[in-house]
Chains A and B, each alone.
Chain A
Amino acid sequence: MKKRGRGIACMWYPIGFTVAANPSAATVKINTDGTATLLTGTVETGQGALTVLGQIAAETLGIATDDVHVVSADTDATPMDTGAIASRTTYVTGNAIIKAAEQAREILFEAAAPMLSVKPEQLEAHDRKIQVIGFPQQYKTIGEVAHHSEIVIGRPAIGSGSYNPPTVEMDPETGQGKPFSTYVYATQIADVEVDDETGEVEVLRIVAIHDCGTPINPMLVEGQIQGGISMGIGFALQEEILFKDGKQVNPNLTNYIMPTSLDMPELEVDMVDNYDPTGPFGAKGAGEPTAVPTAAAIMNAIYDAVGVRITSLPATSEKVLSAILEQKAA
């Protein structure tokens, strides 16, 4: 018989390395037509980092996503970056990029100020224009200003910067300290059906609400949540490296079971409305937290459905059935 159950799980997860320095550096070059190039040492590993980092640079410079070309991952040409790890890219590299872009932008403000007969501090960059704060009809296009700065005055608009999250060393006896600058939070709720005759668990639906601060690109955050959940489902129900005398028994994709399209439930994902003042435009991160609470939510749903507590993962059908039978016998 198939029994329905629901389970809730929430989590917290840090951004960046544990205490240790994990800086990122960035360089922004503004071209004489107002488009720009961003140099970053990070690596695009599929999560969409380069798109998001380009958006952060574009926002600082007041231009569009497409106006920024991102160059990455070449130790000869791009500045250092601790890497695409620990969900740190949006936050740490993003903050470094803002510093670099602000430095380049300041050169533009200094060039534009006499053109607009104001002081540099009175200017802002918005919608591809350098305009006067509070009186936007007084403006020059960013292209005009960049051209003037480089070609006429002789000051190319280029900037660089770096950022490292502020932490406090943890005490070796008590662990007290400030290991991370910020954390993200999330809740996932799973709706499952358990066949109490076979132990098979089918995940029907998952609702996932994640905090990532400001979502720089909501489409990419959704992608991370959906992908993280698929890893979570694999961790919960299917995946396991099996050993015999220290040798792996299933080092291949035939016998290492992981989620296919048929295993994916209906997903409803969304972000909490939050803003972290320490992050770039309020953003934090999303890469890893998405894979964290799924297994717990599914295990709690299994308990709700058939009253058995699975205490070791994965909850294969054999394990679940065995637990059900044990409970019936008791």
Chain B
Amino acid sequence: MIVKLKVNGETRSADVPPETTLLKLLREHLNLTGAKLGCDVGDCGTCTVIVDGESVNSCLMLAGRASGREVTTIEGLASSEQLHPLQEKFEELGALQCGFCGPGMIISAKALLDKNPEPTVFEVKDALSGNLCRCTGYTKIIEAILDAGRIMSTAEAKS
């Protein structure tokens, strides 16, 4: 089955067995290993990507269902000039430890901040509730997201 979709702004296609998940398509066929396989059943959130503006557990979505749609993965956030404010703040505040939950966390945060750049602490916690982290206790992750949000809304206001 040929799946053709836009990933990080670029049209990509692959010929995959019909039972292939979007996660496996990204990791094994498109060489985008940022999204992780933590449980494969939608419990841990390490596979989170954005599909048509909504954050999604890519292990629960069949690749075929993503055909023709726009997917954003962690690999699509930085430019050749700079990191995304989330990536900048996560690094500066030491928000990630082992990093395995990182791509999923940052993507969930991006999906939130793109819609709501000045969330409350509760709104951030709620947006992250599907992303498990065992190392950090979520504390610095939440601080980094709030900081990144401030940068993004200031940039938004300026432009």
**Residues of A participating in the B interface, judged by any CB pair closer than 8 Å:** 45-48, 219-220, 222-223, 226-231, 252-254, 258-262, 264, 267
Contact = CB atoms under 8 A, between A and B. Distances in A.
B93 A219 contact: yes
Interface stretch (B7-15, B63-71, B130-138, B149-157): B130-138
Interface of B: 39, 41, 43-44, 93-94, 97-100, 124-126, 128-142
Given A48-B97, A226-B139, A262 B125 contact: yes
Interface centre among A220, A258, A260 (most CB of B within 10 A): A260
A8 B24 CA distance: 47
B65 to A, nearest CB: 22
B66 to A, nearest CB: 24
Contact of A226 (B128, B131, B137): B137
Contact of A253 (B39, B97, B128, B140): B39
Given A226-B136, A261-B129, A46 B98 contact: yes
B134 A231 contact: yes
A260 B125 CA distance: 8
Return the 6 tightest CB-CB contacts between A and B, nearest first.
Answer: A46-B98, A226-B137, A253-B43, A230-B137, A46-B97, A261-B128
A166 B44 CA distance: 42
Contacts of B140: 222-223, 226
A262 B129 contact: yes
B137 A260 contact: no
Given A229-B137, A230-B138, A267-B137, A223 B132 contact: no
A220 B135 CA distance: 11
Interface centre among B43, B134, B139, B141 (most CB of A within 10 A): B139
A48 B96 CA distance: 10
Contacts of A45: 98
A262 B126 contact: yes
Interface centre among A223, A228, A231 (most CB of B within 10 A): A223
A45 B126 CA distance: 28
B125 A264 contact: yes
